[in-house]
Each structure stands twice: as structure tokens, then as C-alpha cells.
């Protein structure tokens, strides 16, 4: 049995590497995520952020390095770990021919809830995420934003201690995003830890208490958001400076 008492970080990553052919998608990344933290993991397209979170989720085996989640080693304690984490993967691995309620109930049963408890919690989560107006609607009829909401609802059903979320707000409208943010902030206030990737810097700047930036497979920043807010730079300033995207403004004569 690992350390689940709270003495260890929620996430501990050491010298994590993932090599595809001759290219290192993730190249020796190390960081800690304290318990009770809202942690944003940023990077430009192709930087390695999705590969990193897929390794944390157990969807991609690392080439080398060490991962601990809630004080337990991954993948050695994967079954115990997965019973305590909630996943919202980017590709929304949902069952298209179930209703939202059926899918949430199914996930609850997979986590060991009794059928009646899974059904009751599923009904409550559908209402919480404002997905209960069309209870017989199949997931394949859902918009992308609705799919994100039902995926997040399913991730909550077993009251996890740690959430791993890959672009959870992508394709979600402003009303849905506001609702999801409020629910996540409430989870953090209750002691849960959230690790999310996002390309929307304003979302990360508003929600997160800590942020890390990955570029070309390597970690280039790992900072407390309070320190960043105390500086004269915005998160966008830091991001652009560190990923090397700054260049003189250009203009087109015909535009």
C-alpha cells in the first residue's frame, strides 16, 4: 500500500521520457504537483503536453522515468491509482450509443458503485451539468461542448482525489465553461487536485494556482501563479518569451 495519507505530492514526475522513433516527444521532464493544487500544464502544439498527460493517465507507457500519483507508483499500482482519479481525455472516450445518464451510470458501476447509487449520482450530475433537459438524447447527438460536460460529470461520480484533464474547455461555450469552472473550483476547495492542459491562457491564468510550461519536450517554467501575478508580466508574456514565439510584427502590403 502506498502513501495515500497526503504527505506526498499529488503528482511526482522524475526524468520522464517518451521517444517515438528517433524523436523525444517528452525529454527528461520532472515536476511536482502539491495536493490541493489547481495546476495548469501549457505548451505550444507538438510541445509534449498531451504526451505527458497521456503517460500520467496510463494511456501511453513512458520510455523511461518515474511517475507517482497520490504517493503510488505508475503503472505498478495502476488499479489502485485509477480508483482515486478522474480522467477527462482530449479525445472524449465516450460510448456514442448510450444516453448521457446511461454513460455516467456505467462509469459509476465501473468504479464499484452499487447500481442504485450510480443511477442516483448520475441523475444528480446530469442536472448539475445542465444536461437533463433531453434525458433520452444519445451521446452521438451531443455537441462537442456537451460531450466535454458529460465526460467531466462521469469523472466526478466516484469523488476522486485527483483529476487529469486534457483540454477540458475545448469546444465548450461560455455558459458551459463558466459552469465547469465553478464545479472544478469547488472540488479544489474541498481538497482535490486538478492537473489540466489548456491552450487558453486566460483560463489557466484565472483558475490555476501553479503553472508549468513545456516546449520541445522540455520543461521551461514551473511557477506559482501568485509570483507571476506580482510581476509585471502576464502569463501570455511569459509563454511567448519562453517558447520562443516572439518575432517582429509583419504586415502584408495587400492586407
For range 72-95, the mean pLDDT: 88
pLDDT tens per residue, range 18-68: 999 989 999 999 999 999 999 999 998 888 999 999 999 999 999 999 999
Domain boundary assignment for the chain: 95-159
pLDDT at residue 2, as a whole number: 42
pLDDT tens per residue, range 174-230: 888 999 999 999 999 999 999 999 888 888 888 999 999 999 999 998 989 888 777
pLDDT tens per residue, range 100-124: 999 999 999 999 999 999 999 999 9
Q: How far apart are CA 86 and CA 156, in angstroms?
A: 6
Amino acid at each position: 500500500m502506498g502513501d495515500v495519507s497526503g504527505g506526498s505530492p499529488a503528482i511526482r514526475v522524475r526524468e520522464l521520457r517518451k521517444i517515438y522513433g528517433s524523436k523525444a516527444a517528452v525529454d527528461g521532464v520532472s515536476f511536482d504537483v502539491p495536493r490541493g493544487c489547481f495546476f495548469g500544464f501549457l505548451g505550444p502544439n507538438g510541445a509534449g503536453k498531451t504526451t505527458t498527460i497521456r503517460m500520467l493517465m496510463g494511456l501511453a507507457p513512458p520510455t523511461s522515468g518515474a511517475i507517482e500519483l497520490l504517493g503510488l507508483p505508475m503503472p505498478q499500482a495502476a488499479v489502485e491509482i485509477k480508483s482515486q482519479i478522474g480522467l477527462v481525455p482530449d479525445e472524449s472516450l465516450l460510448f456514442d450509443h448510450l444516453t448521457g445518464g446511461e454513460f455516467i451510470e456505467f462509469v459509476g458501476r465501473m468504479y464499484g458503485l452499487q447500481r442504485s447509487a450510480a443511477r442516483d449520482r448520475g441523475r444528480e450530475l446530469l442536472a448539475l451539468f445542465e444536461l437533463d433537459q433531453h434525458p433520452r438524447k444519445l451521446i452521438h447527438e451531443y455537441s462537442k461542448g456537451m460531450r466535454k460536460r458529460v465526460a467531466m460529470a462521469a469523472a466526478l461520480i466516484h469523488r476522486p482525489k485527483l483529476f487529469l484533464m486534457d483540454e477540458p474547455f475545448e469546444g465548450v461555450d461560455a455558459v458551459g465553461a463558466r459552469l465547469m469552472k465553478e464545479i472544478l473550483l469547488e472540488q479544489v476547495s474541498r481538497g482535490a487536485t486538478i492537473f489540466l492542459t489548456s491552450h487558453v491562457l486566460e483560463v489557466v491564468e484565472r483558475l490555476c494556482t501553479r503553472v508549468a510550461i513545456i516546449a520541445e519536450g522540455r520543461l521551461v517554467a514551473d511557477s506559482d501563479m501568485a509570483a507571476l501575478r506580482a510581476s509585471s508580466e502576464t502569463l501570455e508574456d511569459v509563454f511567448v518569451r519562453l517558447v520562443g514565439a516572439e518575432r517582429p510584427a509583419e504586415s502584408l502590403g495587400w492586407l
